Amino acid sequence: MGKLILVRHGKSLWNVQNIFTGWTDIDLATEGIAEAKKAGELLKSNDICIDVCFSSYLKRAIRTAWITLDTANQMHVDTKYHWKLNERHYGAWQGHNKNQILKDVGEETYWGVRRGYYLSPPKLDPKDKQQPKFDAHYKNIDPALLPLSESLENTSKRVVNYYFEAIVPQLVKGNTVLVSAHGNSLRALIGYIKNIPPEDIAHLEVPTGEPNLYEFDDNLNLTEHYKLK
Ligand SMILES: O=C(O)[C@H](O)COP(=O)(O)O
């Protein structure tokens, strides 16, 4: 079985400003560019040759993949993009300051939605121009599949579906796979790979720009997991 390397994009401009981002297409901050370069240096110093790379449709993850591969001198690597790796859709919380939302909804709702498994933020208004169906990125996707907000459970369904559809076949071929994605799309995927029950998922945090390597046995059970150093 091949090796899987997961990296959360470097810090974005809205990470730095503490704003809920979700599917809003915000670019990397200067600090995030430096984190992506560091991730590429770690691939290089660990002698890791990527066979195939995957990213979401969002530029903070795409740019992280590009900078990481560029820094590792592996710009030739075939890179596939898919909306199913996007960040969890943060619904009507997108574009709002996290501290303000905490004040508005209170601790219990805030943390239940932000770190729990089953709760979703309020949906975008159906007339809201932020809706993915109005965004050219998603013009070829059935609008019925595009969310107006998501719980981690919803995110997990699409991410794990894509994992089996596109990523697992690469691992089965013995390939080394790099995935550049997001805090919550990766929480969903890691939760699945590590078999973390929904009630414990709140404790899983995925820091920006830190590549983690996962190894599997022939039945795709996780055998080893470590952070690249
Ligand atoms: O979408 C966002 O706002 C962040 O990238 C991730 O959200 P989190 O801080 O709740 O994990």
The DSSP string of 78-136 is EEEE-GGGSPPP-GGGTTSBHHHHHHHH-HHHHHHHHH-SS--PPPPPTT-TTSGGGSG
Please say if the pLDDT value at position 218 is more than 90: yes
CATH number at residue 25: 3.40.50.1240
Residues 123, 151: Cα–Cα separation, whole Å? 11
Please say if the pLDDT value at position 27 is more than 90: yes
* Residue 63 is labelled as binding a ligand: no
Contacts of 107 (CB under 8 A, 6+ apart): none
Give residue 43's pLDDT band: very low, low, confident or very high (50, 70, 90): very high
Tokens 């559809």 locate to: 165
What does the pLDDT look like over 119-140, one tens digit per residue?
999 999 988 999 999 999 999 9
* Residue 75 lies in domain: 3-227
The encoded tokens of residue 51 equal 């066979």
What's residue 182's pLDDT? 98
CA of 166 to the centre of ligand 1 (A): 25
What's the mean pLDDT in 181-207? 98
Please say if the pLDDT value at position 48 is more than 90: yes
CA of 59 to the centre of ligand 1 (A): 15
Q: Whose CA is nearest to atom 6 of ligand 1?
A: 183
> Any residues with Cβ below 6 Å from ligand 1, and which?
20-22, 87, 90, 114, 182-184
Give the count of domains, the chain: 1
